[in-house]
Structure 1
Amino acid sequence: MRRTYDVVIVGSGAAGLTAALKLAPHQRVAVLSKGEISGGSTRWAQGGIAAVLEATDSIESHINDTLVAGAGLCDKQAVQFVVERGRDAIESLISLGVEFDKSGENAHEDGYDYHLTREGGHSHRRIIHAADATGKAVQKTLNERVLAEPNIDVFENHVAIDVITNRHLKNKASYTDQAHGVYVMNLNKDRVETFAARSTIIATGGASRVYLYSSNPDASTGDGIAMAWRAGCKVTNMEFNQFHPTCLYHPEAKTFLITEAMRGEGAYLRGVGGERFMLRYDSDRAELAPRDVVARAIDSEMKRTGVDNVWLDITHKNADFVISHFPNIYRHCLGLGIDITKDMIPVVPAAHYTCGGIDVNLDAATDLDRLYAIGECAHTGLHGANRMASNSLLECLVMGNAAADDILAREDNMPPPAIARDWDESKVTNSDEEVVVSHNWRELRRFMWDYVGIVRTDKRLARAKRRVDLLLSEIQEYYGNFRVTGDLLELRNLVTVADLIVRSAQKRSESRGLHYTADYPLLGEDARETTLIPFNRSVTDRVE
């Protein structure tokens, strides 16, 4: 089946829906969502959105804070581009109906009456939020607006397989090298469909599910990054994965974070035998050390003692105090049989944010014509080697608008979508070895956690590369012989992304930002990005 649109957007988070709303008055848009429209990472964002919104703050201050957090690898032009557009992005959300928290006291000098908070790395109060569920409020409003737009069609349970490029066309000689839409697995009908488009936007989020422990939803499997790589796009800084120190370790709570505020209120981290181990890693700050320090300490303790988790202990505090300060955590843990006023909380660090991604310019354009990438899947240069809190949602909004602006500016020069060859499954069969997919999935996430996690070494990276190479070969063979499924497509993408992460990490012989290697613990003299360029790849196409 073939569908035709002006623009196809793969992903339904803040970035993708922002672009869709800006395009809708002028073009027909399809939004593809792997699951439900709210299934991505946006709705899980607890914090807020960073922007300069009060007179005592400044654009220059926000830029400087971001550059410092990025450990020398931010692109200053990109930082300035995003930060300067922060206020407009917030005002656009307010006009759409997002209800941010009001201060309840005095309006700011410029008339704003919104409560602004401050987070790590920021020198001013500049985080506008909706309680502790900003992402949910933003996603809800964007969903409502998108679903009400007659020029936007939303396709839930549709998994993108690959970008349609010239090699997929019936008459490729008529076109320069460019994107022409995507092949898509319709999970509702269990069939592959062709979505042809004059422009294609990838907005699929990050790749944190490549790790055993992650704070992200299950959909964060690096699909867009892997698709762009297979289409011939460069990727940059894939070695920089941000880890949150304390994610609840429980089989029924795979993505539940335990806020840093609990350590701020006196909770201790304990290891085997109840030892309070942070004092050995940072005697002055202990549990209040920065995220990367705490995450590395927990990782070290787990590897040293061979345990699957450590424990966060706030039982020495008054029970009423604990319940009043952390009511949501108390209720959630109690539902899992953990009374945090009496029991220590099992925690592990969790992969949280992908700072690298598909290389794009400030129009959100990749190096494949008419293919754009926005949000966590893209590398703009904003985050550098370490994302500063609450800059990510801001980037989604700004770059979503940037992609739409560029598409609209080129509208008159874009011909109708090309005709791609149909998807062909005449030479494949249904798999009788689904266990291979589940087994490889578990193996991949385990060795990525053990060898390419918070602390790395050359030896660990080499071990990971050998295993990635074997999985790449096995999965490519499997993909070429059996009908595609959602699980197989995710595994294929995860292994591709794992390979990109390992190769990028092997190229960085220093410790910078989120990349820490015990073999090179010091910061290098030159701040250089790690860019990988595709070449001579073997790609199995399922087209006639």
Structure 2
Amino acid sequence: MTEIHHDLADRVAIIGSGLAGLMAALTLAPQPAVIVTRSALGAETSSAWAQGGIAASMGADDSAELHLADTLAAGDGLCDPAVAASIIAEAPAAIAALERAGVRFDRNGAGALSLGLEAAHSCRRIVHAEGDGSGAAIVRALVQAVVNTPSITVLEGYEARRLPLDGERISGLLCATPKGMAVLPTSRVLLATGGIGGLFDATTNPIGNFGQGVALAARAGALLADMEFVQFHPTALASRRRPLALVSEAVRGEGAALVNEKGERFMALVPGAELAPRDVVARAISAEIARGGRVFLDAREALGSRFAARFPVIDALCREAGIDPSRELIPVRPAVHYHMGGVATDVNGRSSVSGLWVAGEAASTGLHGANRLASNSLLEAAVMGMRAARDIAGVSASLANVPSDHARPPTPDASLVRPIVSRHLGVLRNAGAIHGAIAALLPLAESEGPATDPAIVGLLIAVFANLRTESRGAHARTDFPLKLQQTQRRTMRWPDALDIARSVIPYSFARSA
């Protein structure tokens, strides 16, 4: 028998406890809200693992217009300029809101914000906390603020499994709990579930984050956008650790250089050099590794003995791997770091499904385009978490009948999907690899087993990648190496993607015969 939380009926349900979810709950206060989180509050979130900080035009030599120009350049023609401009304009207000919630950003001796530099930014604009521990510091402060807010109920150990519908609108939230299935009767749900890194072997994200929000929204009939754009961070620490430790590009912002095993600085002649957009750097590093080489980050001259003070988290991660970054080269490799695609939303986080909002990495707002500008992720999470909350607050609850009994969906398991996605949908793609992914993922996505939800997300990436016959931003195809003169964002619902996948299979098999 499914437990129905009548005591929590009518409340806004927020799935996820990263930056977007926490900010949404705090913004809604004193309106009652429920945070549903699979683990402890704020744990297993990409937000807490973020090193760099939040991009915000706060410096004397900076402006929202300059920040926007950098964002559009990195987005490689697929940003929505109006959406990007509106989110970037709210950056100073987001920083102020975070400080009011208890976040303490790093400041210099004069009391001004200490600003870092990252790739593809034209000036220093990365607002950070505790050096390279920004995400952890921000989430820790917001968790404490949530705990101190009486209007917020937190349900830890609750894993969202389905979004029941009444016709075409949300009628509840079905969760798996340690005691069985439970339903929250609600007509207002915010997905803040993070990214898809757990679909890949090499990732800097929590392994359990396989795109749960995308799968939930897809099953509910929501429009999905730009699923093919998966950003590989160029410099994950190459070690046996899983997930891979991130070496923030702020290290390159402080002057560290990329070299191969021959000591050659292979990025020196590329526009932007080590601070070129992430897709450019990731492809260059991948090419070095593909020829059998190795790639290292050399911070010895740029930082030397100052490394541990500026980057205490990265220093500890390096030493865990037996490397002294002040005196030794840091071995690096690309790893999945961020998903620009996701559930299509408007400027207030509304999806195409009535009663469903999405914020943070699970959403596709148009800010990031084909390739996210560094540290715009936490900016978007904060701004869109607050925007979605304000929009939700203006919508009255309208509960529908919720079935009292539900079969327990299987616990999602990405172990069968991960090798397929990692092999076929990596930094460099081609038709054969993409079709191979579709052929392998389709039967898993059509089943109803533990691999189904991860396979749905992986198949969506493959279908969108198959349709984009060009190389743009984070989507690089060796069989279509050039950009199209005219391009556009693409949206699609899950049933349509499934039909396309089925149509590709005979062709895929014919090619391999």
Aligned residue for 2:462, secondary structure, equals helix
| 2:20 matches 1:15 | yes
Q: Which residue of 1 aligns with 2:139?
A: 139
Conserved in 2, the CA contact under 8 Å of 1:311 and 1:344?
A: no
Q: Which residue of 1 aligns with 2:508?
A: none
| 2:107 matches 1:116 | no
1:97-142, Cα deviation, whole Å (9 max, x unpaired): 211112212x6xxxxx322233222333332221222211211111
Q: Which residue of 2 aligns with 1:454?
A: 427
Conserved in 2, the CA contact under 8 Å of 1:278 and 1:286?
A: no
Task: Work out which of the residue numbers 480, 486, 491 in structure 2 matches 1:526.
Answer: 486
CA separation of 1:134/1:313 partners in 2, compared to 1, >3 Å: closer, same or farther? closer
Which is worse superposed, 148-157 or 279-288?
Answer: 279-288
Q: Cα RMSD over matched residues?
A: 2.9
Q: Which residue of 2 aligns with 1:249?
A: 238
Task: Work out which of the residue numbers 381, 401, 404 in structure 1 matches 2:386.
Answer: 401
Matches of 2:327 and 2:65 in 1, distance apart? 47
Aligned residue for 1:160, secondary structure, equals strand
How far 1:181 sits from its partner (Å)?
2.1
Conserved in 2, the CA contact under 8 Å of 1:102 and 1:115?
A: yes
How far 1:347 sits from its partner (Å)?
3.1
Runs of 4+ more than 6 Å apart: 283-286, 315-319, 321-325
Task: Work out which of the residue numbers 65, 78, 103 in structure 2 matches 1:73.
Answer: 78
CA separation of 1:56/1:337 partners in 2, compared to 1, >3 Å: closer, same or farther? closer
Aligned residue for 1:279, secondary structure, equals coil
1:207-246, Cα deviation, whole Å (9 max, x unpaired): 1111110011123210001110110001101111111112
Matches of 1:283 and 1:100 in 2, distance apart? 33
Conserved in 2, the CA contact under 8 Å of 1:213 and 1:348?
A: no
Aligned residue for 2:232, secondary structure, equals strand
1:478-504, Cα deviation, whole Å (9 max, x unpaired): x3xxxxxxxx3xx43221110010001
How far 1:325 sits from its partner (Å)?
6.7
Matches of 2:299 and 2:486 in 1, distance apart? 46
Conserved in 2, the CA contact under 8 Å of 1:31 and 1:153?
A: yes
Letter in 2 for 1:233: A
Conserved in 1, the CA contact under 8 Å of 2:12 and 2:189?
A: yes
How far 1:448 sits from its partner (Å)?
1.7
Letter in 2 for 1:143: V
Larger Rg: 1
Aligned residue for 1:353, secondary structure, equals strand
Q: How many residues align?
A: 489
Q: Which residue of 2 aligns with 1:237?
A: 226
Aligned residue for 1:393, secondary structure, equals helix
Conserved in 2, the CA contact under 8 Å of 1:507 and 1:530?
A: no
Q: Which residue of 1 aligns with 2:502?
A: none
Conserved in 1, the CA contact under 8 Å of 2:198 and 2:205?
A: yes
Aligned residue for 1:153, secondary structure, equals strand
Q: Which residue of 1 aligns with 2:159?
A: 159
Matches of 2:49 and 2:337 in 1, distance apart? 11
How far 1:301 sits from its partner (Å)?
4.0
% identical aligned pairs: 35
How far 1:339 sits from its partner (Å)?
4.7
Matches of 2:235 and 2:12 in 1, distance apart? 40
Letter in 2 for 1:371: L
- 1:265-304 to 2 correspondences below 5 Å: 265=255, 267-270=257-260, 274-276=261-263, 279=266, 290-304=277-291
Aligned residue for 1:198, secondary structure, equals coil
Conserved in 2, the CA contact under 8 Å of 1:34 and 1:158?
A: yes
Conserved in 1, the CA contact under 8 Å of 2:277 and 2:373?
A: no
Unaligned regions of 5+ residues in structure 1, if any? 108-112, 167-175, 480-487, 539-544
Conserved in 1, the CA contact under 8 Å of 2:171 and 2:399?
A: no
| 2:449 matches 1:471 | no
Q: Which residue of 2 aligns with 1:173?
A: none
Unaligned regions of 5+ residues in structure 2, if any? 499-513
TM-score scaled by structure 2?
0.87
Matches of 1:237 and 1:213 in 2, distance apart? 21
Matches of 1:98 and 1:290 in 2, distance apart? 29
Which is worse superposed, 132-141 or 245-254?
Answer: 245-254
Letter in 2 for 1:37: L
Aligned residue for 1:93, secondary structure, equals helix
TM-score scaled by structure 1?
0.82
Letter in 1 for 2:183: T
Conserved in 1, the CA contact under 8 Å of 2:119 and 2:276?
A: no
Q: Which residue of 2 aligns with 1:129?
A: 128
Matches of 1:458 and 1:216 in 2, distance apart? 27
Conserved in 2, the CA contact under 8 Å of 1:299 and 1:349?
A: yes
Q: Which residue of 2 aligns with 1:184?
A: 175
Conserved in 2, the CA contact under 8 Å of 1:52 and 1:87?
A: yes
Conserved in 2, the CA contact under 8 Å of 1:282 and 1:289?
A: no
Aligned residue for 1:381, secondary structure, equals coil
Which is worse superposed, 414-423 or 233-242?
Answer: 414-423
CA separation of 1:419/1:449 partners in 2, compared to 1, >3 Å: closer, same or farther? closer
